[in-house]
């Protein structure tokens, strides 16, 4: 395994639990790719422009698109934040802002633990 995926608090878990089995299986498949492939295709993992290290994991299931925000920590750790079902071509600004707030919270909390 090249990367370890961890969930920060319950942001992602709460979203995941609401999905049907087909969507959950597709999410698991994409997470497996992200954690094992040396170079993950942009189709599955894409840097969000202008966000200082925020990425989105991209899952397509039928006509539905899902996005999960994350960042790398200590080189190989993928920390998952919020997720949402995408309704438009453009990622909503409020979802990116929410992910950036969660990312900031994660690193502040981590710094205070050390």
4-113, what's its fold? YaeB-like fold (3.30.2310)
Q: Residue 68 and residue 55: Cα distance in Å, rounded?
A: 8
| 90 class by beta-carbon count within 10 Å (0-12 exposed, 13-18 middle, 19+ buried) | exposed
Contact 1, 78 (CB under 8 A): no
Q: What is the pTM of this model?
A: 0.89
Please state, in angstroms and rounded to a whole number, the distance separating the CA atoms of residues 18 and 15.
6
- Structure confidence by residue, pLDDT tens digits, 58-108: 999 989 999 999 999 987 888 899 999 988 888 888 999 999 999 999 999
Do residues 64 and 88 lie in contact, with contact meaning Cβ atoms separated by under 8 Å? no
pLDDT tens figures, 26-52: 999 999 999 999 999 999 999 998 888
The ranges assigned to domains in the chain are 4-113
């Amino acid at each position: 395994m090249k990367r370890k995926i961890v969930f920060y608090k319950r942001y992602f878990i709460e979203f995941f639990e609401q999905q049907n089995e087909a969507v959950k299986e597709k999410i698991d498949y994409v997470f497996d790719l992200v954690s094992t492939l040396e170079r993950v295709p942009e189709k599955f993992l894409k840097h969000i422009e202008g966000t200082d290290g925020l990425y989105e994991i991209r899952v397509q299931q039928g006509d539905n698109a899902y996005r999960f925000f994350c960042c790398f920590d200590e080189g190989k750790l993928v920390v998952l934040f919020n997720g949402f079902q995408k309704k438009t071509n453009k990622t909503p600004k409020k979802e990116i802002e929410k992910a950036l707030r969660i990312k900031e919270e994660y690193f502040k909390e981590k710094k205070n633990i050390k």
